[in-house]
Amino acid sequence: MLWLRRLTAAFLGLVVLAVLAAAGGLWLLERYLDQPGPLAEEQLIEFPRGTGLAGIAARLETAGVIEDARTFNVATRVIGRDRRLRAGEYRIPANASPREVLDILESGQIVLHALTIPEGLSTVEALAVVERHPVLVGDMPEDLPGEGELLPETYMFARGTTRAEIIERMRADMARLLAQLWENRQEGLPLQSPEEALILASIIEKETAVAAEYHLVAGVFVNRLRRGMLLQTDPTVIYAITRGEGPLGRQLLRRDLEVDDPYNTYRYPGLPPGPIANPGRGALQAALDPATTDYLYFVADGTGGHAFARTLDEHNRNAARWRRIRDGGG
């Protein structure tokens, strides 16, 4: 039975060698997965939808994140993480190990880009911001929004988002917010529809850049509407001249106040026929919840804000003071 003992010993020896080899292979695999990568500095890398493991590994090698795509490919399959990698654009830190790269690609925490539409831009101006954005893709939609239909906000989006998609988000957000605010509006306002509220909000937005004044400015305009007074607001005259295609580029002149246009609130009573800009959330809230005040007038005060008045005499004094400041007289 000597041959049987020798055969058994040889078999056990092979088993031990196989275990040692497996242990050594596992140690090498773990060492590879945790070895810092060659990437010198943080980098954004996009993995388009439908990219398989081989394509991901190739992009990582090309970008300098890993040294060899085939090694990464095999190691990922061996540890069973080849089916959980998600498409998108990711931020890969410098010297990321293969394991860290896999963690990032499994997380789904893709890079988001920002598009900011400032309050008070006309739709023409807002669309120009969308068109110029370097990350958005695709042409501008044929069905362009009208004045006041876009909600000024900072919009976050993934690479690959189209210009048509972001514009539709802006449109939908404005419609949703306006409907919500209209439902919770102050009682007794001289506004017949959400559209009229939007018009008033656009005027408020163009009249003041001081958020703390929104509700007070709204109160002045509401008081004037209730009394049947002309709104006499300069931004509507500017819109009558430019139609929102850009800034006036000069001071408003006295003769401009005579322009025969329905947007000219120095000549035509009530609200103009449409918005003159895209108002933000603050101006919309103010239009539908104005301050309770007996002010009927306001004029710039030289500090970026406005001086408010109850009577025409008081307003004329404020206006004279503003002209002295504007003309350098103090």
Give yes or no for residue 145 having a pLDDT over 80.
Answer: yes
Give yes or no for residue 17 having a pLDDT over 60.
Answer: no
Backbone angles phi, psi at 320, to 5 degrees: -65, -40
How does pLDDT run across 220-271, given as a tens digit for each residue?
Answer: 999 999 999 999 999 999 999 999 998 998 888 999 999 999 999 999 999 9
pTM of the model: 0.83
How does pLDDT run across 20-66, given as a tens digit for each residue?
Answer: 344 456 667 888 888 999 999 999 999 998 899 999 999 999 999 99
Confidence at residue 256, expressed as pLDDT on a 0 to 100 scale:
93
Confidence at residue 274, expressed as pLDDT on a 0 to 100 scale:
97
Mean pLDDT (the chain) is 89
Confidence at residue 150, expressed as pLDDT on a 0 to 100 scale:
98
Instruction: Give CA torsion, residues 13, 18, 22, 28, to 10 deg.
Output: 80
Residue 320 CB contacts under 8 Å (≥ 6 apart), including other chains: none
Pair 115, 130: CB distance under 8 Å? yes
Rounded (5°) CA angle 289-295-296: 100
